[in-house]
Structure 1
Amino acid sequence: MTETDALTAERARLRLTCRHLAGAGPVHPAEHFEAIAGWLREHGPHHTDAGFVPGLEPDNYGTGALVEDFEAEVAALFGLPAARFMPSGCMAQPIALRIWSDRAGNSVTAFHPTSHLELHEEGGYRELHGLHAHLLGEAHRPTTPADLLSLIEPGGAAHATGIASLLIELPAREIGGQLPTWDDLTALSRLCRARGIRLHLDGARVWQAAPAYGRSLAEIAALFDSVYVSFYKDVGALAGAMLLGPKDFIDEAAVWQRRQGGTLHSAMANIVSARMRLSACLERMPRLIERARKVAALFAVHPRAHVLPDPPHTSMFHLHLDGEREGLLAARDRVARETGIWLFPNLKPVPGEPARSSVELSMGPASLELDDDELAGAIALLFRA
C-alpha cells in the first residue's frame, strides 16, 4: 500500500467511525432500506394471524395511492392545488420553465449566476428544451427587484424580448444558504405578476427557508407560480423530487416527465423513503437553524475562520479557513483522532485566494448530538494543530 493509499484508508476510517458535525453522520446503507421495509410491512398489504390485511400497493407509472396520497399531502403543505413526484430536480425544474415558456410563446428565462441549472446540469434547459437564460444579478448575493428591473426595462438585455419566467432559489446553496429579505422576495413576486412573468421556486432546500423567515411553506409558495422541492436534501430520503403548482400545469408536467423517461414502473422505495422522513425534517429544522448559528459563532472567534453569511441565514453556511489545504486536512484528521469529532469533509480552494480553502457545512441530526463545549474544544484544536 502506498503512502497515499494509507492516508485515504485512514481518512475513510475516521469518517466512518467519528461523530459528525455536518449532515446525518455515518449510517449503514442497509438501515435505510430496513426502515423502508418496516414501513411497507406496516402500511402495505400483509398477512396476520387474523388473515389478510389490505394496504397500500406499489405505485405504477406514477399512479396509485402510495404516490398520490403523498403528492396530495405535500401539495396541502404548500397550499397549492397539485403536485407530481419526479426522479430529480434536474428533470422537474427545466420542465417547469419549459411549460411557462411555451405558454408565453417566449423561450427566454432568467436565474441567478450560481443556479444549479447553470452550473451542474450540462445546459439541460438549453439543449433539451430550447430555452435561453439570462444570468441575473451578482454571483455573491441574492437576486433583488432592482436586478430584474435592470434586465427588462429600457436598456436591459431582455427589454426587447422580455422573459417568460424567473427562477429564485431559496436558500441559495452556492452562496452559503443566503436568502433575499422577505421584503425583496415579496417585491419580486409583485413585480413578476405585474409584468406577466412566471415566478418559479427552486426549493431544493426550502425546508430551511420557512423557519428562517418565520413563515409557513404555504406563505412562501403563495408568492410563486410553481415550486420544486427535493427529498434527499435535508429530508435525508432516497433520490426524489416534487413539482407543485396549478392542476393544469402539473398535468402538463406529467406528460413531459413521461417524454423524458421519468415515469418509472415503480418508485416505491423512493416515495416511501420521503413519506416516512418528511415530518421529522420539518420538526427539527428550526433547531438546525439555531445550531448553524451557534456552530458558526464557535468558528468565528478564531481569526483564521470566516463565516459566509455571518450569521447564517439558514441551517447551512460556508466556512473559509486560512491556511494551506493539506495542512488544514491534516489538522482535521488529528482532531478526529483525538476527539472523535469529524469537523468537515473535503476542502475546496477559494478562487483567487491560494492561502484559503472553503467548505460547506449543513447542519443535520448529527450536529444536535454534539455538546457545545466539546465542539468548541475540537475547533480550537483544529487551529492549534
Structure 2
Amino acid sequence: MNGRTGMTDEQQAQERRIAAWRGAERILGHRPESLGERLARLAADAPAVYDLGEPTDIYGNGVVEAVERRVAELLGLPAAAFFPTGTMAQQVALRCWAGRTGNPVVALHPLAHPEVHERGALSALTGLRTVHPTRTPRLPTADEVRDLDEPFGTLMLELPLRDAGFVLPSWEELTAVVEAARERDAVVHLDGARLWECTGHFGRPLPEIAGLADSVYVSFYKSLGGISGAALAGPDALVEEAKTWRHRYGGQLFQQWPAALAALAGLRDERPRLPGYVAHAKVVAKALRDALGAAPWSRLHPEVPQTHQFQVWLPYPPQVLDEAGLLQAEETKTALFRRWWEPGVPGLSTTEVTVAGPDVERWTAAAVAEAVGDFLERVDRVARAEQG
C-alpha cells in the first residue's frame, strides 16, 4: 500500500499504464476511453441503429430483442438469447445440452475458456464434467475426438482458441471434427466469442460456419467494441430453455439498453472492418517478426496470424518488458505492446497483439520496424538497470 495515495502498488501501476496509453499519439490496438468518451460515442452511434423514441427495455424486451434478432439473422440460426456475460451463456448452453443428451460430460480443450478463466464454475454450478481430446495447443483433430476413451454428450470448440495463440483449424479439419462428434452421438457447441473475424480464414460466410454446430455463443465486446454482453444462438427450443436458465442464473436484468445499443453499433460498424484488420495483421506480424529477429529466442505465434490477434514471445521477465513499453509510450507517444506475462518458463514472457482501431493504417511495416527498434533499446536499458 502506498501511503501517499491510499492505493496499492498495482493500482498505481494500472493508473500509469492507462495514462500512458491515453496519452499516446499512435497505438497498436484500441485506446482506453474515459467514461465521458464512451458515453459520447454511444450517444453518437445509437440513433443509427435503433429508434431512440422507443421505450427502454424491461427484462429483455425492446432493444434487447432487436439484438437477438440481428444475431440470429447474421448467424443464419433460428433464434438467439442475449446474456450479460459469455460465461453465463456458455454454462447455460452446456447445461441444456447435457439435459437433452443425458450425458453430463463435455469434451473441450484444456485451454478453453471454461477451464482457464471461470474458476471451475462449470462443474461447481452445473455438475458437468470435462474431458480433453488433446493437450496440444491447437484444436483437436477428428481422430482425437473419435478415439476419446469415454462417452461425452457435447463437444465444445473455441474458435479461435485464444490461449493457444488465437489459432484455428482449416475448414476441412473443422468439418471433420464436427463429423467425428456426430459419429459419437454428441452435439457440437461453438465458443465463438471471436467468431466474427474467422470468416476470412475459413473462406466461408458466418451462417455456413455457425451451421456446423448445434449452438453458438458470440461476444459483443471482444472484437466488436461493445460495452458487455453476449448471445447464445441455436434452435428455438434450446434458446427458450436457455432464457429460463438465464433468469435462474440472475441474468434477467431489468435494463440492458447501453450494452444492447453498443452491440448493435458494433455489429453495424466494427464487424465490417474485421476483414481489413485481419489482412493488416499479416503485414504487422511480418514487420514485427523481421524487426524482432535481432532479439534471440523471439517468436510470433502463429507466425502468420489467422485472425487479427496473435502472440509475441520474448526472452525477458515480464516486469522488464512492461517497463520498457511504458517508457516508450510516455517518452515517444507510441504504444506498441500492452501487458506481458510469464507462461510458466522463467525469463520468458508473452503478450497478445491486436491489430484494430482507428490507428491501424498508420502501422505500416516501416512504422512497426521503427517502433520495435525503439522498444528493444528500452528493453536493453531496463534489463541492465535491473541487473545493477
TM-score, structure 1 normalization: 0.89
AA at the equivalent of 1:88: T
- Equivalent residue of 1:234, what SS? coil
Q: By how many angstroms is 1:63 displaced?
A: 2.1
Point out where structure 2 has 5 or more consecutive residues left out of the alignment. 379-388
Q: Aligned residue for 1:51?
A: none
User: Aligned-pair RMSD on alpha carbons?
Assistant: 2.2
- Equivalent residue of 1:83, what SS? strand
Distance 1:282 1:349, change over 3 A: same
Q: By how many angstroms is 1:139 displaced?
A: 4.0
- For 2:26 and 2:144, locate their aligned partners in 1 and report how far apart those are by CA, in whole Å: 39
Q: Aligned residue for 1:293?
A: 282
- For 1:371 and 1:17, locate their aligned partners in 2 and report how far apart those are by CA, in whole Å: 18
- For 1:330 and 1:24, locate their aligned partners in 2 and report how far apart those are by CA, in whole Å: 20
What's the CA shift string for 1:278-318, capped at 9, x where partnerless? 12222111111122211111121123231011111111001
Higher strand residue share: 1
Q: Aligned residue for 2:38?
A: 32
Is the Cα–Cα contact under 8 Å of residues 113 and 139 in structure 1 kept in the other structure? no
The question of 1:329 aligning with 2:332 is answered: no
Q: By how many angstroms is 1:61 displaced?
A: 1.0
The question of 1:309 aligning with 2:302 is answered: yes
The question of 1:138 aligning with 2:135 is answered: yes
What's the CA shift string for 1:219-258, capped at 9, x where partnerless? 1001100000000101011110000000011001000001
- 2:335 counterpart (339, 342, 345): 342
- For 2:269 and 2:46, locate their aligned partners in 1 and report how far apart those are by CA, in whole Å: 18
- For 2:302 and 2:210, locate their aligned partners in 1 and report how far apart those are by CA, in whole Å: 24
Q: Aligned residue for 1:61?
A: 59
Identity fraction in percent: 34
Q: Aligned residue for 1:231?
A: 220
- For 1:8 and 1:76, locate their aligned partners in 2 and report how far apart those are by CA, in whole Å: 40
AA at the equivalent of 1:355: G
- Equivalent residue of 1:351, what SS? coil
Distance 1:296 1:95, change over 3 A: same
Q: Aligned residue for 1:274?
A: 263
AA at the equivalent of 1:230: S
Is the Cα–Cα contact under 8 Å of residues 114 and 139 in structure 1 kept in the other structure? no
The question of 1:124 aligning with 2:121 is answered: yes
Q: Aligned residue for 1:359?
A: 351
Q: Aligned residue for 2:209?
A: 220
- For 1:139 and 1:207, locate their aligned partners in 2 and report how far apart those are by CA, in whole Å: 25
What's the CA shift string for 1:33-85, capped at 9, x where partnerless? 23333455677777xxxxxxxx4221211123x22222111101111000010
Is the Cα–Cα contact under 8 Å of residues 86 and 217 in structure 2 kept in the other structure? yes
Q: By how many angstroms is 1:193 displaced?
A: 2.4
Is the Cα–Cα contact under 8 Å of residues 46 and 265 in structure 2 kept in the other structure? no
Distance 1:129 1:300, change over 3 A: same
- Equivalent residue of 2:319, what SS? helix
- Equivalent residue of 2:81, what SS? strand
Q: Aligned residue for 2:313?
A: 320
- For 1:42 and 1:284, locate their aligned partners in 2 and report how far apart those are by CA, in whole Å: 17
Q: By how many angstroms is 1:336 displaced?
A: 2.2
The question of 1:16 aligning with 2:22 is answered: yes
What's the CA shift string for 1:131-171, capped at 9, x where partnerless? 111022124122111211121xxxx1x1xxx1110100001
Is the Cα–Cα contact under 8 Å of residues 204 and 228 in structure 1 kept in the other structure? yes
Q: Aligned residue for 2:103?
A: 106
How many residues were matched structurally?
A: 366
AA at the equivalent of 1:300: R
Range with bigger deviation, 7-16 or 297-306: 7-16
- Where do residues 38-117 of structure 1 align in structure 2 (5 Å cutoff)? 38=44, 55-64=53-62, 66-117=63-114
- Equivalent residue of 1:355, what SS? coil
- For 2:13 and 2:108, locate their aligned partners in 1 and report how far apart those are by CA, in whole Å: 41
- Where do residues 186-225 of structure 1 align in structure 2 (5 Å cutoff)? 186-225=175-214
TM-score, structure 2 normalization: 0.88
- For 1:182 and 1:43, locate their aligned partners in 2 and report how far apart those are by CA, in whole Å: 33
Q: Aligned residue for 2:240?
A: 251
